[in-house]
Structure 1
C-alpha cells in the first residue's frame, strides 16, 4: 500500500479560495497516469475535471507543468491548487447589476458594494456577487459551467460588509494564474479603514497569527505567540487623525479571513461600527449625550464596518502586464469621514 506524505495548506480562515495540496510519491509507487492517480485520492473529483485542471496549470510536478498522461514515479513532488469552500453550494444565475471596473476576454474586475455576500453559502443562496457574475458570463458564453471554469473564476473574497475591488478569472488558465499569485502573496492589496482611537505611530506592522476564536466560532482572534493559527502580516499607515478615530491605510502581506479587523483590534483599534468585534460601541471619547448622539448618527451614516478594499494590483494572466486598479471610497464612508472631520474642527478636543 502506498503511503504519500500529504500536506494541506492553508487551513480555514483564508480569504483566498484555493488551497495548496502537496504529495510526495512513495518509493514503491508503480508508474500510473497522473490524472488516474489523482482521481483515486481526491474526493468528488471526476476524471474530466482533473484533466481540465491539469491543462489549466493547477498542478505541477517537480515544479513543472505536465500533461494528463504523465506517469508519476517514485520521488515526484506534486503541488495542486484546488478550490476549497466548506459551504459549497450551487450557483444560480441572477441578473444582478455589477459595477465592472475592467473587463477583457480573460479577467473581470468588479467593485463590490456593501451588504453583498461574495459567494453562496448557508443562509445566502441567492443575491450574491457570484450569482450576478454567473449571469454576466452566460451572456457571453452560454456553455460556461463549473467544469470549464471552477467556481466561475472566483479566486479570493472580501467580507459581506466590506466594499471594494475583486478580480475574477474568465478562463481556467487565468484562474490558475491568479490563484498562484494570491497564494504566493504577490498581489498588491490596500484597504482604507476608520478605526477607533488615536493610532500613536504613523505607520507600523502587525505580525500575529490568526485562527478561529476559541469561544466564538464565527469570529477570529490574533495569537501573537505563533503557536496557534496561520501566519498573518498587516502593514498600516495613518492617513488622517480625528482624535477619537483614525483613518488608516492597511496593506495585506497575507490574506486571512477578517485579517484587518482582527489585527487592528489586537493593537487596540477596533474598526468603526464593526459589530462582530465590538466596534459598534463608543470605544473612545465621553459618554455624554451630545457626543453619544453624534456617534450614533455616524453609525447610521455608515451602518457597517468602515472598511474598503481600495487598491488591487496583479499581473495579467495572459499578457503578463502589471495592472493596478483603484476605487473611490463609497459614499457612506466619505460621509462618515466628513462628519468626523467637521466634528473635531468645531469642538474643543479633550481625551
Structure 2
C-alpha cells in the first residue's frame, strides 16, 4: 500500500496523526551562491511548486535563521531554513452539511470544538460527508453567505483526534493562526491532557512512556511501539494515576508528541490497554476474576461505553492573535462518567478480590 493510500485509509476511518504539519530543515552549503529562496526551495523539496512556496513564505511557514523572509530573499552560505508543510492528503471537496457542533469557544482566530465520540474529523476520498469539518463548513456558511463551496477553506486543521475519542480540538480560522498553531504543535508546546480508563493497576503513580510509534510490521491498520527507536517516529506520553479500581485504573495522559493512536499504543505497550479498545486488545477481559457475574459486569460496562475510554479534556496554547497563553477544558462525556461510576460502585460494594 502506498503512503498516500495508507493516509487516505486513515482519514476515512477518522484515524490519523495528531500533527498534520511536518518540518523540513535545510542548511545552505558553504559554497551556496545568492539565489531567491522561492526558487531555491522548489529545487530542494519534492513536489514543491513556486506558487506553493511563495504562499508558504507569505503565510509565515518558512523561516531563515529563525526569522520570516520575503520570496525575493537571497539565500547565502550557512542559512538555516525551516519549512513547515501540510502533509495531509486532500480528500474530496468539502460539502457543507448541518451537523450539531459543541463549540466551546470562538473568536476571529480560532475555534475550540468538543468532538463527540463516533464522529470522523475530516472527509476523505469515498467519505465526503458526515464529518466534523462538513459541519464546520455549514456553520461558517451561515455566518458568511458569500462563501461558495468552491472557495471553502480547509479550516486550518492543525491536528485531529481519533473517530472514537471524544474531546477538545482547536481549528485555526486564519493563515496566521494556522502558522502559529502548526509551529506550536511541532515544537511540542501545545498542552494536551487526556483522561483514560485503562486495564490493570499500574505499579507507579506516574510515569513516562518513551517509545517510537510506527505501523505494525504485519498488520498495516495497527500501530506498534518500538522502544529501541529503530522504526517509527519518536513518541512520548506522560501518565498519572487519578483513581484505582483494582482491575482498571483512571489515568490522565499528557502528550508531548502527537503520533497516530499514541496513547492507545503506549498504554498497551506497558501492559495497560485502554478499556474497550478494539484495536489494541482492550475489548476483552484483561484483568479480573473467572466468575460469570464479573464477566457479565464487564459486558455491561462495554455496553455503557461502546468505544475506547479516552477523552481529550484539556488543550492549551499561545493564542495566535493575542499572544497570551490560553487553556480550555471540557467535562467527561456521559458514557465515560457512567462507566467510571459503575467501576467505583463495584469497588465500593463488592471490593476487588485477590486473583
- TM-score for the superposition, normalised by structure 2: 0.89
**Structure 2 segments unaligned to the other structure (5+ residues):** 1-6, 11-15
- Taking the TM superposition and a 5 Å limit, the aligned residue runs for 1:1-351 are 14-26=17-29, 29-39=32-42, 47-86=50-89, 88-141=91-144, 142-143=146-147, 151-350=154-353, 351=355
More moved, 70-79 vs 178-187: 70-79
Q: Secondary structure at the match of 2:54?
A: helix
- Greater mean alpha carbon deviation, residues 293-302 or residues 71-80: 71-80
Q: How many residue pairs get matched?
A: 340
* 1:122 CA drift (Å): 4.5
Question: What secondary structure sits across from 2:279 in the alignment?
Answer: helix
**CA, structure 1 residues 103+218, in 2 after alignment: closer, same or farther (shift >3 Å)?**
same
Cα pair distance change 1:234/1:173, threshold 3 Å: same
Determine the C-alpha separation between the residues in 1 that align with 2:110 and 2:307.
29
SS at match of 2:323: coil
Matched residues in 1 for 2:75 and 2:270: separation?
49
CA separation of 1:139/1:31 partners in 2, compared to 1, >3 Å: closer, same or farther?
farther
Moved more, 88-97 or 153-162: 88-97
Superposition CA RMSD, Å? 2.3
Q: TM-score, normalised by structure 1?
A: 0.90
Instruction: Please report how far the alpha carbon of residue 38 of structure 1 lies from its aligned counterpart in structure 2 after TM superposition.
Output: 3.5
Q: State which drifts further: 180-189 or 199-208.
A: 199-208
| Separation in structure 1 between the aligned mates of residue 163 and residue 110 of structure 2, nearest angstrom | 22
Structure 1 regions of 5+ residues with no counterpart? 1-10
SS in 1 for 2:164: coil
> What is the CA–CA distance in structure 2 between the aligned matches of 1:101 and 1:148, rounded to whole Å?
22
CA distance 1:269–1:64, shift in 2 (3 Å)? same
Secondary structure in 2 aligned to 1:50? helix
Residues 227 and 339 of structure 1: is their aligned pair in 2 closer, same or farther, counting only changes over 3 Å?
Answer: same
Structure 1, residues 50-82: CA drift from partner, whole Å, max 9, x if none?
A: 333212211111221001222333443321111
